[in-house]
Structure 1
Amino acid sequence: MTLAEFQQSFWRELWAEHASSVWAAQPGLAVYRNTVLQGCIDALRSLYPAVRRLAGDDWLAATALAYAREQPPSDGGLHGYGARFPDFIAHALAQGEHADDWPWLSEVARLDRLWSESHVAADAPVLSLAALAGPAGPDGEGLARLRLWPHPAARWHRSEDWPVFSLWEAARSAKDDPNPPHWHGQAVLMTRSEGAVEAVELDAGDHALLVGCARGLVLGEALDAALRHHPMTDPGAALARLITRGAFTAITA
């Protein structure tokens, strides 16, 4: 067996649920496998704290173990591990006994993931309202032809059906009762100010405007798209809210 063949065989056995006859006689393999798998489980516990609180540690640990065996890490750095864990949670619920209990859990997991992404995203200047006002700022017609670019640390998500922000925020802050007062869809914006990730609920129109800007639409087109889907949106107020919350980094022609 060549070194490359040995390494490939070892890697397969490391993530297999049961050792093959070739490796079963190696007493150190089980210890090493358990250590590596436990590291993956602990990483997912850390990266998905809202899921852990809402679903319980036992369920999360079992689901994390199944995920690690199916999708092992690609490198030694586990801070970015688990990008597909929200989708895996959705599949696990569909196949298990809690689909009716936690139909929103994968959506909450997406917010955990977005928080981690925002936390480690690149630094960049934050666009201020002052850049759009005053003598140096563009007029209304000129502004409509410009593009606003989301900040590298900005992350957003909208759930049509579930109060994901309320559930997620209650779990992350360890409230005694995570049940939201109203069960309706919510949108969320996460930004990072001075090293700390901040999360706020977004109006549906604000979310649509941000999505349009992220697609590269000029501001006028992005506002038109938001109004088509959410006619009650106040364009000026929506833009001001997003800028004040640090959603953008630059404005260009």
Structure 2
Amino acid sequence: MNGSLAAFQDAFVAALTDVPDSAAGALAELVAQPGFAVYRNTLIKGCVDALRANFPAAERLVGAEWFAAAAALYAREKPPRSGPLLEYGEDFPAFLQGFEPAQALPYLAGVAQLDRLWLEVFSAVEQPVVALAALATQTPEQLARQPLVPRAALRWRWFAGLPVYSIWSCTREQREVPTALVWQGEGVLLSRSAGRIGWQSLQRAGCVFLDACAAGRSLEQASELALEVQPELDFNDLLGRLLAAGAFAALVPTTQSTLRKPS
């Protein structure tokens, strides 16, 4: 057998997913055997089942048959390379965005994005939440300079022009999507607290604020950016909602060290 083991494994996976001209030499002889189709079908079915589990709201919107057909096409284009199937489908929302049969459903890719964000929140590492007492002990000047770091188990997203959150939350909770849905932009916040994942709507300013926090901006700087996009924002209400959702990680204590010159 020519080539390295890694090259053979890559070629084997490619052959499993029907990539043209992917098999050569000894591998071509293996692929030509009738039993190889069993491996191929098993892999594709496993991928489709994983995508169904990872994108439940997207599947409910389009139905099991439509979803299975799209998932099978995706699996042939992008088979899993490594890691558990819980992580499979990272770019499935992008696939749906460019999938021709999905063009009549402009919100479908966004719904799949929220399914993906739910998975990321679910699998994120645990972190202590910022204590209100730690904030209360700071002076106004200190608090203004304080950066608030979003927790690993927190995700947020703004969807311009599309009511993606309303569609996703209704579908995820297995409720009927309102027929008189207002076609406008929506934001969403997903968080995990005490092992439970919750979600709520989030204004554009809230998404901007969290973007700034994630970029390391101070509380004052982040709030100014939020107020720029939404001057009528009730910032105290926004911050209260985020703190109640456990949005921020515990503050990292700062220490001052005294440097001594060598004698």
**Fold shared, TM-score > 0.5 on shorter chain:** yes
- CA apart distance, 1:9: 3.2
| Identity within the alignment, % | 41
State how far apart, in whole Å, the 2-side matches of 1:129 and 1:222 are.
Answer: 19
- CA apart distance, 1:6: 4.3
Residue 122 (structure 1) aligned to one of 116, 120, 125: 125
Structure 1 residues 90 and 243, CA gap change in structure 2 (3 angstroms):
same
- Mark the runs of 5 or more structure 2 residues left unpaired by the alignment: 255-263
- Mark the runs of 5 or more structure 1 residues left unpaired by the alignment: none
What does residue 186 of structure 1 align with? 186
Give the AA of the match of 2:127.
Answer: A
State how far apart, in whole Å, the 1-side matches of 2:161 and 2:249 are.
Answer: 30
Residue 90 (structure 1) aligned to one of 77, 89, 97: 97
Residue pair 1:192, 1:198 contacting (<8 A) in 2 also: yes
- CA apart distance, 1:210: 1.1
- CA apart distance, 1:72: 1.0
What does residue 63 of structure 2 align with? 56
- CA apart distance, 1:178: 5.4
Residue 77 (structure 2) aligned to one of 70, 80, 96: 70
What does residue 132 of structure 1 align with? 135
What does residue 147 of structure 1 align with? 147
Greater gyration radius: 2
What TM-score comes out, normalization by structure 1 length?
A: 0.90
SS at match of 1:53: helix
Residue pair 2:193, 2:245 contacting (<8 A) in 1 also: no
What does residue 258 of structure 2 align with? none
Residue pair 1:190, 1:197 contacting (<8 A) in 2 also: yes
Question: Number of residue pairs matched?
Answer: 246
- 1:99 corresponds to 2:103: yes
- 1:201 corresponds to 2:208: no
What does residue 10 of structure 1 align with? 12
Give CA deviations for 1:70-104 in whole Å, capped at 9, x if unaligned: 11112251011101010001010xx23x413x111
What does residue 29 of structure 1 align with? 36
Structure 1 residues 76 and 127, CA gap change in structure 2 (3 angstroms):
closer
State how far apart, in whole Å, the 1-side matches of 2:236 and 2:176 are.
Answer: 38
- CA apart distance, 1:205: 1.8
Residue pair 1:47, 1:113 contacting (<8 A) in 2 also: yes
Give CA deviations for 1:2-46 in whole Å, capped at 9, x if unaligned: 473543432221111678664453122100110111000000000
- CA apart distance, 1:201: 0.7
- CA apart distance, 1:138: 1.1
What TM-score comes out, normalization by structure 2 length?
A: 0.87
